Amino acid sequence: MKRKLSLFICILMLLSLITACGGSQDSSATADEDVIKIGVFEPLTGMNGGGGLQELGGIEYANKIYPEVLGKKIELFVHDNKSDQGEATTVVTRLVEQDKVVAIIGSYGSAVSIAAGDIIRNAQIPTMAASATNPMVTQGNDFYFRACFLDPFQGEVMANYAIEQGAKTAAVIMQNGDDYSVGLGNFFINAFKELTGDDNSIVDISEFQLNEADFNAILTNIKAKNPDVIFAPSAATTAPLIIKQARDLGVESLIMGGDTWENPAVIDVAGADAEGIVLSTFFDENDPATEEARRFVEGYKEELAGSEPIIPAVAALGYDAYILLRDAIERAGSTDGVAIRDALRETKDFEGVTGIINFTEEGDADKNIAVIKTVENGQFVYIDTVEVK
């Protein structure tokens, strides 16, 4: 009986294998002519599932607003990379080989983007990372571009801002094992030391673990050293916990973070304790830098329909990544990978949601402006625009 059942299951699996193969071939064969395919790989489950989902929201909204290029409809092929490098390489190969996309957007989290880099370069498919800030993503890769600024820049911006506020000492909290957090934290440390000219100006460097919730011990140590600022680049999942626990412990230092903090989850979870935190980000919802930004803010807020009170910064970047690619395809006038890449390189003063965008040699968005924001009355509020040369 059991043997028969297991045999039955085996046959079922084989059948599904055959049908699925047939199915995927069908869809790729018929739709070749009348649509332009753009692939998206984002972590929709796993450790970075939250951020990936928010970024995807921006990309899909952009697709709704600008559904066409070169007179053809743009079709998005979205795949989940599970926040896992192995999975990321597989889905990107799938996008390239099976879905036959002409360009790719992704991914939230630098590690998965780096893993996909070689495949993208070999296949010559221009790819736009929306929010992967690690320098290694685009390094030595002609076909990888990004719409956001880099960790070194952001670290410097925050160090500058801290010093402008009269800070003499700083403590840094990083997530052990998270490349974004460790990268940004280290750049901040270097910039801060250089700007103060004092190696002892960083009074404490603490690391916390994956999925950690308890920061009391770290924060108690920091409290004893009483730094002027605490810089804690971290994901939106942990940021509110750090902020809340710091305030509960009576830490009065200025708490600062990176772009990931501009996330409704931070205010939602940290509540009143989020008041007064400072973060650097890409754009200001209330004072749109460009016409595009104004339209995006109005339109996307309506789209979200109150499900998220504030537009996550990664959604804005996802949107930008999409319109940058679309613009390049339009200008290239073809779907050839090399042509699109060259068009991307020639991007000049492109009006994105997150500012005016040009690309550097490495393919990074050449942004020298960051927006500094704080939280007031449960809202992200613009304080300053910082320019770094």
CB 296 within 8 Å of CB 316: yes
DSSP bridge partners of 380: 375
Q: Is 331 in the site for another protein (CB under 8 A)?
A: no
Binding part of the chain for another protein, among 206-214, 285-293, 320-328, 361-369 by CB under 8 A, reads 206-214
Task: Mark residues 248-277: x for contact with another protein by CB under 8 A, - for none.
Answer: xxx--------------x--xx-x------
Q: Which of 75, 142, 207, 275 binds another protein (CB under 8 A)?
A: 207
Phi/psi region, residue 216 (left: phi>0; alpha: psi -120 to 50; beta: rest), is alpha
Q: Which of 102, 130, 218, 311 binds another protein (CB under 8 A)?
A: 218
Inter-CA distances, 15 with 11, 19, 94, 96, Å: 6, 6, 21, 25
Sheet holding 229-231, edge to edge: 202-208, 170-175, 229-231, 254-257, 278-281, 369-376, 379-387
Query: Tokens 């990888």 sit at which residue?
Result: 144
Q: Is 176 in the site for another protein (CB under 8 A)?
A: yes
Q: Which of residues 73-92 bind another protein (CB under 8 A)?
A: 78-80, 82, 84-86, 89-90
Task: Mark residues 181-200: x for contact with another protein by CB under 8 A, - for none.
Answer: xxx--x--------------
Task: Mark residues 307-326: x for contact with another protein by CB under 8 A, - for none.
Answer: --------------------
Q: Is 385 in the site for another protein (CB under 8 A)?
A: no
Q: Is 178 in the site for another protein (CB under 8 A)?
A: yes
CB 97 within 8 Å of CB 125: no
Distance CA 372, CA 252 (A): 20
Whether the upstream peptide bond of residue 107 has omega within 30° of 0, thus cis, is yes
Q: Which of 63, 107, 127, 134 binds another protein (CB under 8 A)?
A: 134
| Residue 7, number of CB atoms within 10 A of its CB | 10
Q: Which of residues 97-116 bind another protein (CB under 8 A)?
A: 97-98, 111, 114-115
Phi, psi for residue 50 in degrees, rounded to 5: -65, -55
Query: Least distance in Å: CB of 133 to another protein?
Result: 12
Q: Is 352 in the site for another protein (CB under 8 A)?
A: no
Q: Which of 31, 46, 339, 362 binds another protein (CB under 8 A)?
A: 46
Count the site residues for another protein by CB under 8 A.
Answer: 88
Residue 232 corresponds to which tokens in the numbers above? 């804690």
Q: Which of residues 48-67 bind another protein (CB under 8 A)?
A: 48-54
How open is the CA angle 57-352-334, to the nearest 5 degrees?
Answer: 85
Q: Is 22 in the site for another protein (CB under 8 A)?
A: no
Query: Least distance in Å: CB of 18 to another protein?
Result: 10
Q: Which of 65, 66, 72, 216 binds another protein (CB under 8 A)?
A: 216
Please state whether beta strands 369-376 and 68-69 pair in parallel, antiparallel, or not at all (unpaired): unpaired
